[in-house]
Amino acid sequence: MSDAPARTVPAVHGQRQIVPDPPHERELAAHLRASDRDAVLALYGRFVDGETPFDAMMRRVLWNALAKRAGDGLRVERGARFRHIETFELGSGVFVGEGAFIQGRIGGTCVIGDRTWVGPQTFLDARDLVVEPSVGLGPGVRILGSVHTGSPSDKPIIETDLEIRPVRIGAGADVGVNAVLMPGVTVGQGAMIGAGAVVTKDVPAFAVAAGVPAVVLRLREGRG
């Protein structure tokens, strides 16, 4: 490891003030919401990879138009894509990083709380997913929401029924780079998941967990 000293700098996303969306953006989103849905979905393709401020504004407007609910101050970076966005409930100040993909499901649940940071290249299998406010999902995080039953055994596993299992992430938790959350797990409030961890069991509030499979190493400072 480098001998250079570490530096501590203020957080950016977590401290950013949430500014209400301009009225003209909300009006445009409302107009698009009332328009032909397939045409609005196709319109997103014109702006999804754009780099200009106008492209960024249109991504925000289109997510507002298409989602079940979206709060103020949404930021959607280049290349962020979705499926079944009509199931998404997004809080205020949510950040969706470059190349992220959020896959909803018809009749499913996808709730992402205020000030949550969804890192670049994340994949959220949002079949029954609730992420509470102020959560950090590091770059490359994978959250899985279902598993094939594998029964009966005389069928290829891919042909067997899917069992959808809820995933819950408590407020203020942080999930490290390239970590994987398996179907059915709960990460407690304020918990920290290490980089590359594979979480197969619930993690208690304010615990630090790491490894493959992840195990609880300790509680965060001041918590035990």
Band of the pLDDT at 1, cuts 50, 70, 90? low
Mean pLDDT, residues 18-38 taken together: 96
- Looking at the structure, do residues 93 and 183 belong to the same domain, yes or no? yes
pLDDT of residue 44: 97
114 in any annotated domain? yes
Q: Which CATH number covers residue 163?
A: 2.160.10.10
pLDDT above 70 covers a percentage of the chain that reads 99
Domain residues for 43? 22-66
Dist. CA 203–CA 208, nearest whole Å: 8
Q: Residue 195 to residues 111, 132, 138, 139: CA-CA distances in angstroms?
A: 23, 20, 8, 10
Residue 31 bears catalytic tag:
no
**Tally of domains in the chain:** 2
- Using the predicted structure, report yes or no on whether residue 224 has a pLDDT greater than 80: no
99 with 124, same domain: the answer is: yes
Do 81 and 62 belong together in one domain?
no
Domain annotation covers residue 178: yes
Determine which one of 13, 24, 31, 148 is catalytic.
148
Residues 110 and 201 in one domain: yes
pTM of the predicted protein model: 0.93
Residue 120 in domain: yes
pLDDT per residue as tens digits for the range 63-82: 999 999 999 999 999 999 99
Shared-domain flag, residues 80 and 147: yes
Are 209 and 203 within 8 A, CB to CB?
yes
94 inside domain:
yes
